[in-house]
Amino acid sequence: MSHSAQISNQTKRWQEMDAAHHLHPYSEHHDLAAKGARVITKAEGIYLWDSEGKRLLDGMAGLWCVNVGYGRKELAEAGYKALQELPYYNSFFQTTNPYTAELSAKLATLTPEGMNRFFFANSGSEANDSWIKMVRFFWNLQGKPEKKVILARTQAYHGVTVGAASLSGIPSMHPQADLPIPNIQHIDYPYWYELGGNEDQQEFGLRIARSLEDRILEIGADHVAAFIAEPIQGAGGLIIPPESYWPEIQRICKKYDVLLHADEVICGFGRTGSWFGSQSLGITPDSMSMAKGMTSGYQPLSAVCVGERMGDVLFNANEEWSHGFTYSGHPVACAVGLANIEVMERENLVGKAGGEIGDYFQKKLTELQDHPIVGETRGMGLLGAIEIVKDKETRTRFDDAGGICRDHCFANGLIMRAIGSTMVLSPPLIITKPEIDELFALARRCIDLTAQDLGVQ
């Protein structure tokens, strides 16, 4: 039997086991079983390999998370060392461990001023769910238990647990599970390219921000607890708000005493060119959630960070906070988180994403605007979006351009995510200029192939 035939049999075996026994996230299982799942077997730098030996340039850093790239020995060694010394102990019962204590202190040096206290969990969803409980506890302790409604945005992605999925504003996430839970409402989102029409971008940004004020007034400020938003919306379409948006949102939150929460799960850890998206976009939140880039995905780890106002109240409560996970502050995950930050600092990855490398990425992204089916490109740091359109003037869309383009990307060795007709990029922060050239050469070729399929010459 030839080598490749052996590999194929092995792949087939994994696909069959997987089809029989594995329920995948966000998948239609009939379709998946018929096609056979792609089996990823190894990774190095910005590349992945599947079980057939095909190489893929990972333009999405996994799911927006592998910021230091794949195959980093420092992270593996830090995890191995912690696994040998202290594979597990909890942080309940007045206990901590060196890794969790050191990571908390390290994070406090990176977060915006005053954001100094961290509650640890394992995923972005758990962090956001924990935050809902913190907000309720905070207002209850403040003697304002009627301040209960949390406002979030259409097309927001805050995770999938019951609370986090309720905060999320992607319409398909709610009906299957009878969500959202009570006291969560959604307002408009600042997607100028899709919704702005001929309106001036800054005017649009102000108008959308003021929909927050309208809703607060409708509900009554005494009943509104908090507003949650991603600095740049990720999974909802990589939506970068006009500059007028965030200052107005902050003015409104202050005026009506509504807590402001930044979901930094994608934007955190260098993605936008600063440690946190809030720093890039000039946001001063009361609290933030973080995950993904915190360990570059090498271990599941997340946190809710609270500033002085919430922190002082929660830390000084005269009652126990009834919340915490078995793995809150897991020593191995925290050890890997520390090693991840060390690598990011040593290699100046945040500085590069906000400087030379981010600028080069943005320049190459902008060059795609000359393509006949590219209506807009936008980005910040190492985030990029490409709007595929039938008509640049009217911004009319094709039916499934995103799906077609994504399939061409896979076939040609590039992972680029499709969100409707928006193609999205979020590569590892270690990407080099020649690798950026390779990424955009592949992207252009795949957009060409998409245009051909759609009958555009």
User: Measured over all CA atoms, what is the biggest interatomic distance in the chain, rounded to whole angstroms?
Assistant: 74
Kindly indicate which of the ranges 66-74, 132-140, 258-266, 279-287 contains the residues binding ligand PXG, using the contact rule CB under 6 A: 258-266
**DSSP single-letter state for residue 258:** -
Asked if residue 274 lies in contact with residue 96, where contact means CB atoms within 8 angstroms, the answer is no
What's phi and psi for 155, nearest 5 deg? 65, 10
Supply the minimum distance, in Å, between the C-beta of residue 157 and ligand PXG: 5
Q: What is the total count of residues that contact ligand PXG (CB under 6 A)?
A: 16
Among 32, 40, 63, 108, binds ligand PXG (CB under 6 A): 63
CB of residue 38 to ligand PXG, shortest distance in Å = 15
Binding part of the chain for ligand PXG, among 37-45, 98-106, 155-163, 445-453 by CB under 6 A, reads 155-163
List phi, psi (to 5°) of 238: 50, 70
Does position 236 interact with ligand PXG (CB under 6 A)? The reply is: no
The answer to the question of residue 291 lying near ligand PXG (CB under 6 A) is yes
Asked if 167 interacts with ligand PXG (CB under 6 A), we say no
For position 272 contacting ligand PXG by CB under 6 A, the verdict is no
Of 47, 138, 157, 193, which one interacts with ligand PXG (CB under 6 A)?
Answer: 157
| Cβ within 8 Å of residue 119, ≥6 positions away | 127, 130, 134, 303, 304, 306, 328
Cα–Cα distance measured from residue 367 to residue 381, given in angstroms and rounded to the nearest whole number: 16
| List 153, 158, 271, 330, residue binding ligand PXG (CB under 6 A) | 158
Interface residue with ligand PXG among 104, 123, 296, 340 (CB under 6 A) is 123
At which residue do the structure tokens 């100046």 appear? 348
Q: Which is nearer to ligand PXG, 266 or 344 (CB)?
A: 266
Provide the Cα torsion 102, 129, 139, 266; round to 10°.
Answer: 60
Residue 230 binds ligand PXG, judged by CB under 6 A = yes
The answer to whether the beta carbons of residues 59 and 340 sit under 8 Å apart is no
Question: Nearest-CA neighbor of 158 among 261, 285, 286?
Answer: 261
Nearest approach in angstroms of CB 128 to ligand PXG is: 6
Smaller CB separation from ligand PXG, 128 or 244: 128
In whole angstroms, the minimum distance from the beta carbon of 370 to ligand PXG comes to 27
What is the closest distance, in whole angstroms, from the C-beta atom of residue 32 to ligand PXG in the complex? 16
Per CB under 6 A, the list member of 69, 79, 112, 124 interacting with ligand PXG is: 124
Q: Would you say 19 or 63 has its CB closer to ligand PXG?
A: 63
Q: Closer to ligand PXG at the Cβ: 125 or 295?
A: 125
CB of 85 vs ligand PXG, minimal distance in Å? 26
The residue whose Cβ lies closest to ligand PXG is: 124
Q: Which stretch binds ligand PXG (CB under 6 A): 27-35, 157-165, 323-331, 387-395?
A: 157-165
Four-CA torsion 202, 211, 231, 46, nearest 10 degrees = -90
Nearest to 8 by CA among 54, 51, 56, 55: 51
266 near ligand PXG, judged by CB under 6 A: yes
**CB of 67 closer than 8 Å to CB of 293:** yes
Q: Which is nearer to ligand PXG, 265 or 451 (CB)?
A: 265
According to DSSP H, which parts of 199-327 are helical?
Answer: 201-219, 245-255, 277-281, 308-315
Nearest one of 347, 375, 352 to 362, comparing CA atoms:
352
Residue in the block written with tokens 């333009």: 59
The contacts of residue 155 (CB under 8 Å, 6+ apart) are: 169, 170, 189, 191, 233, 236, 237, 239
Q: Are 259 and 253 spatial neighbours (Cβ–Cβ below 8 Å)?
A: yes
Indicate whether 235 belongs to the interface with ligand PXG (CB under 6 A).
Answer: yes
Among 59, 69, 112, 159, binds ligand PXG (CB under 6 A): 159
Q: In whole angstroms, how close is the CB of 106 to ligand PXG at the nearest point?
A: 21
Task: Tell me the CA distances in angstroms from 457 to 112, 447, 449, one per residue in order.
Answer: 49, 12, 10
Strand order in the sheet with 383-388: 374-380, 383-388, 422-425, 417-419
Q: Does 155 bind ligand PXG (CB under 6 A)?
A: no
Task: Based on the shown chain and the rule CB under 6 A, indicate whether residue 125 belongs to the binding site for ligand PXG.
Answer: yes
Among 169, 190, 205, 234, binds ligand PXG (CB under 6 A): 234
- Number of residues that this document lists for the chain: 457
Answer for which of 129, 188, 263, 387 binds ligand PXG (CB under 6 A) is 263
Residue 443 binds ligand PXG, judged by CB under 6 A: no
Site stretch for ligand PXG (CB under 6 A), options 228-236, 313-321, 332-340, 376-384: 228-236
Binding site for ligand PXG (CB under 6 A): 63, 123-125, 128, 157-159, 230, 234-235, 263, 265-266, 291, 417
